[in-house]
Structure 1
Amino acid sequence: MPVIEHLDLDLEAGGALLLSGCNGAGKTTLLRTLAGLLRPRSGTIRLGGETLADAPPRGWLGHADALKPALTACENLAFAACHHRDRNAAIEAALARLDLAALAEMPARMLSAGQRRRLALARLSLSPARLWLLDEPSVGLDAVSVARLGALLADHRAAGGMIVASSHVALPLPGAAGLVLG
């Protein structure tokens, strides 16, 4: 039984789409399919005019933060920053932006849930991907951190980036289109 049928989405540079719906409605499935982690049973997914397999990379933030617990905050960001001309400066800026500079040398296993989520967002901010796919990006964040998330999302969109996000709570995505699944 298909989770989602007959879906046609078009997202312009700077655009955002907020997915909502009950648990099990297909929000995460749609995000995973757009990320290339799942294959659609039928139809075609095109990103930037290219089929999904040939499309530019997508930035993914799922339910799990995908951090290496034994690595420090800086070490967790090193791979994501490899395409930056000055990798160390890019890492420092990402940590500062999400208020993690004081924790730069702390192993990820020692961070709180909110700090780990902010570190995962810092990693995403270092990605060259124009399309960010965010599954419940505000989970574990306090109000101040949600405001930081909003600024990060706004800057990505202002630079021509696109965002597709799911959430059960309001996200700081002004002007985002909405899609209710289920």
Structure 2
Amino acid sequence: MAPPLLEVTGLSCRRGGRLVFDRLSFALGEGELLALTGRNGSGKTSLLRALAGLTPPHAGTIAWQGADISLDPETWRGRLAWLGHLEGLKGDLTVMENLVFAERLRGGEAGDRLEWALVALDLIGLSAREVRTLSAGQRRRTALARIVLSQAPLWLLDEPLNALDVPAQAAFRTALQRHLAAGGLAIAATHAELGIEGRSLELGPALSSTSPPLGGEAG
């Protein structure tokens, strides 16, 4: 059995002086999806931010292929793609310009993958539109196209289905399934069913998970 790529051990996070979860441990291997569930304020976004290196945990470690991510944060940022509640797009740039700009920030070039990302999220017809003119759902699709384009092995997604209509949700699921089939990992905080087979972790007063167990406690 292959060793896990991502290992979280004894992770605790505080927000506003309050312990939102405590001694959380889990591991994920190639092609695995983990859905984070729980009520608002249960710590889903806090966990994603800790995994992304945006918020230091109160305790515990996060390791990629056995190496603590805190020892080389720049390399770690290059291994993940982050989608928060805010899309992180520049309103005065077009859809295509936003995607090209995002790839340059990552130190690469979009190349032939740009068209694939636009097609995957049904954005070809919107590629020349400035983002500020788009609807909420169209902006979300653009942000998801940025994730697809990144080719990062780990996707961290905070409510990825927000503002998406039924066809856009189906397009996202197809892109996510392709990512997982290629050996990628994804962790998504969600209140909605993702519609893809994977593991789940419920954060809250009573932490629970699907089989196989993830372990951990919540405060």
> TM-score surpassing 0.5?
yes
State the distance in 2 between where 1:31 and 1:133 align: 6
Q: How big is the shift at 1:50?
A: 1.7
Alignment root-mean-square deviation, CA: 1.3
Q: How big is the shift at 1:120?
A: 0.3
* Correspondent of 1:91 among 103, 114, 134: 114
Letter in 2 for 1:134: L
Letter in 2 for 1:32: R
* Correspondent of 1:9 among 20, 23, 26: 26
Is the contact between residue 17 and residue 179 of structure 1 (CA under 8 Å) also seen in structure 2? yes
Is 1:47 the counterpart of 2:64 in the alignment? yes
Per-residue CA distance 1:99-122 (angstroms, 9 max, x = gap)? 110111100001111110000000
Secondary structure in 2 matching 1:22? coil
Is 1:18 the counterpart of 2:35 in the alignment? yes
Moved more, 52-61 or 117-126: 52-61
Aligned twin of 2:158: 135
Secondary structure in 1 matching 2:161? coil
Moved more, 154-163 or 47-56: 47-56
Letter in 2 for 1:3: V
Q: How big is the shift at 1:158?
A: 0.6
Higher RCO, 1 or 2 (CA under 8 Å, sep at least 6)? 1
Q: How big is the shift at 1:173?
A: 2.2
| TM-score normalized with structure 1 length | 0.94
Is the contact between residue 81 and residue 90 of structure 1 (CA under 8 Å) also seen in structure 2? no
Per-residue CA distance 1:60-106 (angstroms, 9 max, x = gap)? 0010011000000010000334424xx34321221111111011110
Aligned twin of 1:155: 178
State the distance in 2 between where 1:181 and 1:141 align: 24
| TM-score normalized with structure 2 length | 0.78
Secondary structure in 1 matching 2:27? coil
Q: Percent identity?
A: 46
Bigger proportion of residues as strand: 2
Aligned twin of 1:59: 81
Aligned twin of 2:50: 33
Bigger radius of gyration: 2
Per-residue CA distance 1:145-177 (angstroms, 9 max, x = gap)? 111111011000011100000111111321x11
Gaps of 5+ in 2: 1-17, 205-219
- Aligned pairs, how many? 179
Aligned twin of 1:179: 201
